[in-house]
């Protein structure tokens, strides 16, 4: 087995886009050797949060590995005569497709909680998980390891309000959750449907969304409490509505644009101080 030193680099440097402090919280010992591990001896991580893998993404990775090799080692733990994958599911799948016999890997000791945390962190920081997979992973940390929402948020580098909002999606019916997982509706659609408490009305709005006959904005209007004598609102310019929809997807919250004769304002909604600070961070990066 060929061994090469990792030169004392933190695991954060081995997984670009992941802050080292997040990784170190999950697996504190950051000095490890990179080994060449036999692909046939690696079996999947049963706690892998990500369940859906885009064929297009995998094809791009296969092409990259064919050209440059695997630049980022997988992370595995010993399991009897073989290894259990902790992080690097896509790299492993691509390697098998290419018929590689060995892959670079860091062999670690990790608890079940650490395995889930590290797999979750890697996927979240790369934005590989859909919202439902992310919610189920948070729920597993809370239910199985008795963590609070605050604990989970700290470990994955998120605000508590963000974790809470993602977890709320699990209150939706299974059919709607499946639609989010399959990309037929977006997270913003699902969050809007949460505002409708009547199951029959919620299902009706969901079907209209699937058919393309209702936007997030229109669902928000339908789910607002309507007082008696409320005057009908003026129909908004479809171009403005499209821009509102795009901003909702980017910022993950309700956005309204008010415009008249070339002047107006953009209203971005938040529901806690934590969400405000998170929005300010997002806006400063745009």
d(CA 28, CA 44): 23
State the pLDDT at residue 235. Answer: 60
List, for residues 66-97, the tens digit of each pLDDT value.
888 888 888 888 888 889 888 888 888 889 99
State the pLDDT at residue 99. Answer: 92
Q: What's the distance, Cα to Cα, between the start and end of the chain in Å?
A: 46
β-bridge mates for residue 103, sequence order: 37
- Within a domain: 163: no
* Residue predicted with more confidence, 252 or 259: 259
End position of a domain, from candidates 80, 111, 142: 111
Structural domain boundaries, residue 246: 236-286
- Within a domain: 39: yes
Which tokens go with 262? Answer: 């070339």
Work out whether the CA dihedral 169, 194, 150, 282 comes out positive or negative.
Answer: positive
- Within a domain: 275: yes
Torsion of CA 45, 122, 135, 174, to 10 degrees: -60
d(CA 134, CA 136): 6
* C-beta of residue 122 within 8 angstroms of C-beta of residue 87: yes
State the pLDDT at residue 223. Answer: 67
Give residue 56's pLDDT band: very low, low, confident or very high (50, 70, 90). low
List, for residues 221-249, the tens digit of each pLDDT value.
776 665 544 444 556 676 777 777 778 76
d(CA 68, CA 181): 32
State the pLDDT at residue 15. Answer: 38
- Mean per-residue pLDDT, 2-8: 38
Percent of the chain residues topping a pLDDT of 70: 74
Residue 267 has pLDDT above 50, yes or no: yes
HSE, side-chain direction, 13 A CA sphere, residue 219? 28
Q: What is the number of domains present in the chain?
A: 2
Residue 51 has pLDDT above 70, yes or no: no
User: Angle of helix 112-125 relative to helix 131-145, nearest 10 degrees?
Assistant: 160
- Within a domain: 147: no
End position of a domain, from candidates 68, 87, 111: 111
Total number of residues shown for the chain? 286
Residue 126 has pLDDT above 90, yes or no: no
End position of a domain, from candidates 70, 94, 111: 111
Whether pTM > 0.95 for this model: the answer is no
- What CATH number has the domain bearing residue 8? 3.90.1530.10
d(CA 119, CA 31): 19
Q: Which of 92, 153, 141, 154 is nearest to 114 (CA)?
A: 141
- Mean per-residue pLDDT, 102-108: 89
State the pLDDT at residue 49. Answer: 62
For the chain, give the mean pLDDT. 75
- Within a domain: 128: no
- Within a domain: 40: yes
- Within a domain: 219: no
Neighbouring C-beta atoms of residue 144, cutoff 10 Å: 12
- Within a domain: 188: no
Q: Which residues are catalytic?
A: 89
- Mean per-residue pLDDT, 1-20: 39
């Amino acid at each position: 087995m060929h061994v090469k030193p990792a030169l004392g680099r933190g695991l954060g440097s081995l997984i670009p886009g992941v802050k080292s402090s997040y990784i170190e919280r999950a697996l504190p010992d950051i000095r490890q050797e990179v080994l060449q591990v036999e692909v046939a001896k690696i079996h999947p991580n049963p706690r892998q949060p990500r369940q859906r893998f885009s064929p297009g993404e995998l094809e791009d990775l296969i092409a990259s590995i064919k050209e440059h090799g695997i630049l980022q080692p997988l992370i595995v733990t010993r399991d009897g005569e073989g290894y259990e994958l902790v992080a690097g599911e896509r790299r492993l799948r691509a390697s098998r497709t290419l018929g590689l016999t060995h892959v670079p890997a860091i062999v670690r000791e990790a608890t079940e909680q650490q395995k889930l945390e590290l797999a979750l962190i890697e996927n979240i920081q790369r934005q590989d998980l859909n919202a439902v997979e992310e919610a189920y992973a948070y729920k597993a940390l809370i239910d199985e390891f008795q963590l609070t929402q605050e604990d989970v948020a700290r470990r994955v580098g998120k605000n508590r309000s963000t974790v809470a909002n993602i977890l709320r999606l699990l209150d939706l019916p299974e059919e709607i959750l499946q639609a989010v997982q399959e990309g037929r509706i977006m997270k913003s659609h699902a969050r809007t449907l949460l505002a409708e408490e009547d199951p029959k009305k919620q299902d009706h709005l969901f079907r209209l969304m699937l058919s393309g006959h209702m936007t997030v904005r229109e669902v928000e209007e339908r789910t607002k409490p309507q007082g008696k004598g409320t005057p009908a609102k003026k129909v908004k310019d479809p171009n403005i509505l499209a821009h509102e929809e795009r901003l909702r997807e980017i910022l993950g919250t309700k956005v309204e644009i008010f415009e008249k004769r070339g002047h107006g304002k953009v209203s971005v909604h938040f529901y806690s101080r934590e969400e405000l600070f998170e929005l300010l961070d997002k806006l400063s990066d745009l």
